[in-house]
């Protein structure tokens, strides 16, 4: 700018008093402040000739006060646009809250201090440093991303229509709502070669079926004779869209042994390969649709496949200095290409990623017409439920999840007659299944109870356990009532006789101890039976610690006998 040097030269030869007039003149011409004009002139060789102050470079603001102003600007920033609060507003808030005294410092000086200490808007909005990441070979890492093709949509019977960006933008969402079905652009890029695969879908929104179709189409390959790309990756990077993280998709990726490294939230740079691919497709391919629009999505995909074959084979990549197809062919190895299983197998993996089976009596399970023996799995037992997972790269083996761990299990080979190969031939010997945990527990219990050799009739623990005759001692004594209420019975009842054993039972129930002497005495005196009345009197006498024949008992017994 010529006026800058002209102003600097005029200021350099001006005497005191003329400089203010010159600055005022250029203020009118440029609209810049006096401070800015002096700073511009100083950068272009103007020197005021004044001695520098001894406190130059210092400020009357403390570190905390400057930090407070910078914090106000950062904490009110927008996630995408960054800092939006001007320094003047931040200084005003600091003064209103008495963090900085009013009028202590100018906005220009605060701006200069923030700029010098890299605490201003430019420093706060600067992107954080990133780390370069690399992949090892083609098909090591694939990057997948889906986007709405905002420029084009299908018009009824008229093919693709161009969206006017003046009408279809974020401030006019109602215009997007008018279009029921939009074109989704799905892109997959090989991280090592940046070889691209693209497919378009017409739908109202992302869904798991679309993701399933796109990924399997990309990995199966064979879309163009001049496009050799194919194979399942070992790692897949993609965003956490609802269709991508659907249980069916996640289970499919797990069954295909594809790992998904965790992503730091709001870190779009991890998807840099996919974002770059989206931009390449939009600018190099979709821009052509202005000149020759497609009438159907099939025609759009056919044109894109043809264009990709040419782009991947001819466009030189800056990182490795050759075309994408040439790089893929140069570094790909047989062990890098994991082909997809057939469509039926894939559908089963997607529909039923895990199937529950019950272990049979011979420790086997059946799955897809095959028998699998699980005897070698620790903790297996008949009746246990296990989960079976299809493992396409280990066929005919399957994964069996038992007690939280997965085991690869080989199917049982069948011989003539449908017998399993490991079955025992009758008359030629025998085999036994490995002990289950329950069987080991039972053996340990038997060894503890009977020792290593158990004989018929042996009691557990050698009969040394005392388990009877002491339970009453565990209960406190219950005092009996001093006197009960006598029961009046008919003569017929009194004359009725009961066996002597019934008397003994009633005596025990009343708390009388049946000693051998008392037993013999009662048998000798009463014989084999006794009347109900006599039994009641005998029980009363013995309970009161009297002899059972006291108190005229003999006379009453004789009268009853006659």
Average pLDDT of span 91-100: 91
Q: What is the 3-state secondary structure (H, E, C) of 141-173?
A: EEEEEEEECCCEEEECCCEEEECCCCCCCCCCH
Residues in the chain, how many?
562
Q: Write down the pLDDT at residue 332.
A: 93
Q: Write down the pLDDT at residue 190.
A: 94
Per-residue pLDDT at 557 exceeds 50: no
Per-residue pLDDT at 172 exceeds 80: no
Phi, psi of 427, rounded to the nearest 5 degrees: 90, -5
Question: What are the E-state strand segments in 175-251?
Answer: 182-190, 196-203, 235-238
% of the chain beyond a pLDDT of 90: 18
pLDDT greater at residue 377 or residue 138: 138
What tens digit of pLDDT does each residue of 102-136 get?
Answer: 988 999 999 999 988 888 888 888 776 656 778 89
Q: Write down the pLDDT at residue 430.
A: 53
Strands in 141-148's sheet, in edge-to-edge order, are 196-203, 182-190, 141-148, 235-238
Phi, psi of 477, rounded to the nearest 5 degrees: -65, 140
Q: Write down the pLDDT at residue 177.
A: 55
Confidence of residue 174 (pLDDT cuts 50, 70, 90): low
Q: By three-state DSSP, how is residue 358 classified?
A: strand
Q: By three-state DSSP, how is residue 23 classified?
A: helix
Per-residue pLDDT at 56 exceeds 90: no
Average pLDDT of span 179-193: 84
Q: Which residues pair with 143 in a beta bridge?
A: 189, 237
Q: Write down the pLDDT at residue 562.
A: 45
Q: Which residues pair with 183 in a beta bridge?
A: 202
Confidence of residue 243 (pLDDT cuts 50, 70, 90): low
pLDDT greater at residue 5 or residue 439: 5
- DSSP 8-state symbol, 473: G
What tens digit of pLDDT does each residue of 512-546 get?
Answer: 888 888 888 888 888 888 888 888 888 888 888 88
Burial classification of residue 536, based on how many CB atoms lie within 10 Å of its CB (0-12 exposed, 13-18 middle, 19 or more buried): middle
What tens digit of pLDDT does each residue of 130-159 get?
Answer: 567 788 999 999 998 888 775 555 555 555
Tell which residue, 59, 1, 60, has the closest CA to residue 26: 1
Confidence of residue 337 (pLDDT cuts 50, 70, 90): very high
DSSP assignment of 475-505: SPPPPPPSS-PPPP--HHHHH-EEEHHHHHH
DSSP assignment of 376-431: TSTT--TT-EEEEEE-GGGTT-EEEEETTEEEEEPBPPB-GGG-BTTPPPTTS---
pLDDT greater at residue 147 or residue 179: 147
Q: CA 421, CA 413: separation in Å to the nearest integer?
A: 5
Q: Which residues pair with 154 in a beta bridge?
A: 160
Q: Write down the pLDDT at residue 192.
A: 93
Q: CA 256, CA 395: separation in Å to the nearest integer?
A: 12
Q: CA 103, CA 178: separation in Å to the nearest integer?
A: 56
Average pLDDT of span 95-101: 91
Q: Write down the pLDDT at residue 191.
A: 92
Average pLDDT of span 375-382: 82
Phi, psi of 400, rounded to the nearest 5 degrees: -120, 120
Q: Write down the pLDDT at residue 551.
A: 43
Residue with tokens 């279809």: 168
End-to-end Cα separation, the chain, in angstroms: 155
What tens digit of pLDDT does each residue of 283-317 get?
Answer: 899 888 878 888 888 988 999 999 999 999 999 99
- Exposure letters 20-34 (e unless 16+ CB within 10 A, then b): eebbeebeeeeeeee
Q: Write down the pLDDT at residue 433.
A: 56
Which of 61-70, 318-327, 493-502 is least confident? 493-502
Q: By three-state DSSP, how is residue 271 classified?
A: helix
- Element at 371 (helix H, strand E): strand 370-373
Q: Write down the pLDDT at residue 155.
A: 59
Per-residue pLDDT at 340 exceeds 70: yes
Average pLDDT of span 29-51: 81
Question: What are the E-state strand segments in 273-363?
Answer: 354-358
Q: By three-state DSSP, how is residue 189 classified?
A: strand
Q: Which residues pair with 408 in a beta bridge?
A: 399
Residue with tokens 């699980």: 374
Average pLDDT of span 185-190: 92
Confidence of residue 556 (pLDDT cuts 50, 70, 90): very low
Confidence of residue 233 (pLDDT cuts 50, 70, 90): very high
Q: Write down the pLDDT at residue 314.
A: 93
Average pLDDT of span 370-382: 83
Q: CA 146, CA 188: separation in Å to the nearest integer?
A: 9
Collect all residues with Cβ–Cβ distance below 8 Å to 253 and sequence separation of at least 6: 236, 260
Q: Judge whether 188 and 142 are in contact, CB under 8 Å.
A: yes
* The CATH number, out of the four listed (3.30.420.10, 1.10.10.10, 3.40.1050.10, 1.20.120.1200), of the domain defined by the range 141-336: 3.30.420.10
pLDDT greater at residue 432 or residue 531: 531
Average pLDDT of span 484-494: 58
Tell which residue, 199, 161, 159, 200, has the closest CA to residue 178: 161
Distance of CA 559 to the CA centre of its chain: 96
Which of 3-12, 234-243, 328-337 is least confident? 234-243
Confidence of residue 204 (pLDDT cuts 50, 70, 90): confident
Q: Write down the pLDDT at residue 366.
A: 87
Hey, where are the domains in the chain? 2-43, 63-125, 141-336, 354-451, 491-561
For the chain, what is the mean pLDDT?
79
Tell which residue, 306, 307, 311, 333, has the closest CA to residue 323: 311
Beta strand pairing call for 159-162 and 182-190? unpaired
């Amino acid at each position: 700018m010529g006026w800058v040097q002209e102003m600097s030269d005029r200021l350099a030869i001006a005497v005191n008093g003329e400089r203010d007039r010159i600055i005022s003149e250029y203020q009118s011409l440029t609209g810049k402040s006096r401070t800015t004009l002096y700073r511009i002139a100083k950068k272009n060789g103007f020197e005021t000739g004044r001695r520098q102050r001894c406190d130059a470079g210092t400020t009357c603001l403390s570190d905390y006060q400057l930090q407070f102003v910078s914090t106000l600007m950062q904490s009110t920033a927008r996630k995408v646009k960054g800092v939006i609060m001007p320094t003047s507003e931040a200084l005003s808030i600091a003064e209103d809250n008495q963090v900085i005294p009013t009028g202590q410092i100018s906005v220009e000086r605060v701006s200069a201090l923030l700029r010098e200490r890299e605490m201003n808007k430019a420093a706060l909005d600067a992107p954080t440093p990133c780390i370069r990441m690399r992949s090892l070979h083609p098909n090591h890492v694939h990057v997948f991303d889906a986007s709405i093709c905002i420029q084009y949509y299908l018009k009824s019977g008229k093919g693709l229509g161009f969206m006017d960006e003046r009408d279809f933008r974020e401030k006019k969402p109602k215009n997007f709502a008018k279009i029921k079905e939009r074109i989704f652009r799905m892109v997959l890029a090989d991280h090592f070669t940046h070889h691209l695969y693209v497919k378009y879908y017409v739908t109202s929104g992302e869904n798991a079926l679309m993701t399933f179709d796109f990924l399997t189409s990309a990995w199966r390959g064979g879309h163009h004779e001049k496009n050799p790309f194919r194979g399942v990756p070992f790692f897949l990077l993609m965003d956490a869209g609802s269709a991508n993280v659907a249980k069916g998709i996640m289970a499919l990726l797990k069954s295909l042994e594809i790992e998904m490294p965790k992503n730091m939230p709001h870190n779009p740079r991890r998807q840099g390969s996919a974002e770059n691919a989206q931009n390449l497709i939009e600018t190099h391919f979709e821009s052509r649709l202005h000149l020759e629009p497609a009438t159907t999505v099939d025609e759009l995909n056919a044109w894109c496949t043809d264009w990709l074959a040419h782009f991947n084979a001819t466009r030189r990549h800056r990182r490795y200095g050759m075309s994408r197809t040439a790089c893929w062919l140069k570094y790909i190895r047989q062990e890098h290409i994991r082909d997809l299983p057939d469509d039926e197998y894939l559908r089963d993996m997607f529909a039923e990623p895990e199937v529950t089976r019950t272990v049979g009596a011979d420790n086997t399970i059946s799955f897809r017409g095959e028998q699998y023996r699980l005897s070698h799995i620790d903790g297996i037992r008949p009746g246990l439920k296990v989960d079976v997972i299809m493992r396409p790269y280990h066929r005919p083996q399957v994964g069996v999840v038992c007690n939280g761990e997965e085991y690869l299990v080989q199917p049982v080979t069948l011989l003539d007659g449908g017998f399993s190969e490991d079955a025992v031939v009758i008359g030629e010997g025998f085999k036994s299944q490995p002990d289950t945990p329950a069987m080991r527990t039972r053996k340990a219990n038997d060894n503890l109870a009977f020792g290593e050799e158990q004989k018929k009739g042996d009691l557990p623990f050698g009969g040394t356990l005392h388990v009877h005759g002491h339970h009453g001692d565990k209960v406190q004594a219950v005092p009996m009532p001093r006197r009960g209420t006598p029961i009046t019975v008919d003569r017929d009842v009194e004359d009725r006789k009961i066996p002597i054993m019934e008397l003994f039972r009633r005596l025990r129930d009343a708390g009388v101890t049946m000693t051998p002497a008392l037993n013999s005495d009662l048998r000798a005196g009463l014989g084999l039976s006794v009347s109900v009345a006599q039994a009641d009197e005998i029980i009363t006498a013995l309970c009161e610690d009297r002899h059972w024949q006291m108190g005229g008992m003999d006379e009453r017994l004789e009268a009853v006998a006659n």
